[in-house]
Structure 1
Amino acid sequence: MVTAQRVWAKRGQRIALTALLSSSLLIGGCSLNENPYESKTVKGDEQVQLIDSMRNKGSYEDARQRLTNTARVIADRIVAAVPGQTWQFTQDPNVQNVNANGLPCEQLTGDIAGRPISDSVDFGRPFAADEFSKAADIVRQEAAQYGATEESCLFNEDSKRDFNIQGNGYEFELMQSKAAILDITGDCFLMQSVLDLPAGQLPPEPPIVPPTTPTR
């Protein structure tokens, strides 16, 4: 449907804009001759130290599952609070692929780590103004459990609404145009294949394959 395509286009534009703004905002205090779009990826011993410092956070895959579980909790709570509302995880294969791949981390390449995105929630219909406020409050409550408390919005009108809350590396976004959707993006996490490797050494070149236990 055209309306669905517009929503997905808006979502893709928002993700691209977020990535661009993130790279731009992280250059505060840099001298004028520095390139704001220069790669921040670390190498060598610095990379080893960063990877080892992230091991206790768990894996990208587990983090993505937690975010999807949280998205489910939020959606269920919203449907319970808003009569006549329904939800489902997106069935769009393109959006599913974007969500599965996540977003890049600032200092590590995608074969080593990534920022997970939950399965996207598609609500059955747009929210009225008072309903959107109820839904946003539920998102606010669940986001606080992740340390996300910084709120913002770009639109607050009948044709377009959004509610964005960030903090501690996480971002929760409820938005609607012709349809209403919810996305959650996580902090940077190591891929399970990297966690399975011994600490204190550089991962091999991709594809990363964890060592296997020899058999007799």
Structure 2
Amino acid sequence: MVTRNRARPTFRLRAGASLVCVSVLIGGCSVSENPYESQTVRGDEAVELIDSMRPGGSYEDARRRINDAAATIAERIVGAVPGQTWQFSPDPNVQQVKSDGLPCDKLTGDIARRPLSDMVEFGRPFTSEEFATASDIVRDEAAEFGADGEDSLFNEQSRRDFHVQGGGFEFDLRQGGSAILTITGDCFLMQSVIDSPAGQLPADPPTEPSTR
């Protein structure tokens, strides 16, 4: 495996935009405004992009697929590492962040998003040998999604990580005080957009009535 430093994305927000990260270990952020807004396409360009994405399926279906993949990886790891356990995080804040997903580069969140799997929490940290075993399993399952580009930033007793990406998907296994697994998907249209007629922009979401 080739180890290299991985560039971490940096988001520059406009004044008034809000990006709320619940925890470093959550592996995602809850966004109230799209930090890529300056790249957002509109009009005929947006219609063309949306229609090109329809065959890829919906955000909701993609999120179910990566959740299933996360559970499969966790079960395989537990089966291969004696004494290990796992669960999806029961923290409601983590669950909300994962459910909300991440923004896409060129489409607003009411049209498309990048799905996040629920966060897998393992019962204890891995030893170096166990982490290698777990990484092999992540590598194997990630390949099913076309993800085969590997890298790692840390491989120490106190901190380890293993990252696989490709085909628009990212698989992250890492541990510090605890061991977690997260999966990030490509950009997918919301089901409501797929259900809307092709060749035109979807209708604007309804505006909630003011309580003032």
TM superposition score normalised by structure 1: 0.80
- State how far apart, in whole Å, the 2-side matches of 1:9 and 1:53 are: 35
- Provide the residue aligned with 1:11 in structure 2: 25
- Provide the residue aligned with 1:50 in structure 2: 49
Q: Does 1:118 align with 2:117?
A: yes
8 Å CA contact 1:88–1:123 kept in 2: the answer is yes
Letter in 1 for 2:53: M
Number of aligned residue pairs: 181
Which runs of structure 2 are paired with 1:22-171 in the superposition (5 Å)?
Answer: 39-171=38-170
From the superposition, tell whether residues 90 and 38 of structure 1 become closer, same or farther in structure 2 (CA, over 3 Å).
closer
- State how far apart, in whole Å, the 1-side matches of 2:205 and 2:152 are: 39
Q: Give the C-alpha shift of residue 38 in structure 1.
A: 6.6
Structure 1 stretches of 4+ moved >6 Å: none
The structure in which a higher percent of residues are helix is: 1
Per-residue deviation, residues 86-128 of structure 1 (Å, max 9, x unmatched): 0011101111011000110001000000000011100000000
- State how far apart, in whole Å, the 2-side matches of 1:9 and 1:160 are: 17
Task: Give unpaired runs (5+ residues) of structure 2.
Answer: 1-21, 30-34, 208-212
- State how far apart, in whole Å, the 1-side matches of 2:182 and 2:37 are: 28
Letter in 2 for 1:51: I
Task: Give unpaired runs (5+ residues) of structure 1.
Answer: 1-7, 17-22, 24-36, 209-216
Identity percentage over the alignment? Answer: 64
- Secondary structure of residue in 1 paired with 2:103: coil
Q: Give the C-alpha shift of residue 153 in structure 1.
A: 1.2
- State how far apart, in whole Å, the 1-side matches of 2:70 and 2:124 are: 17
- Secondary structure of residue in 2 paired with 1:39: helix
- Secondary structure of residue in 2 paired with 1:175: strand
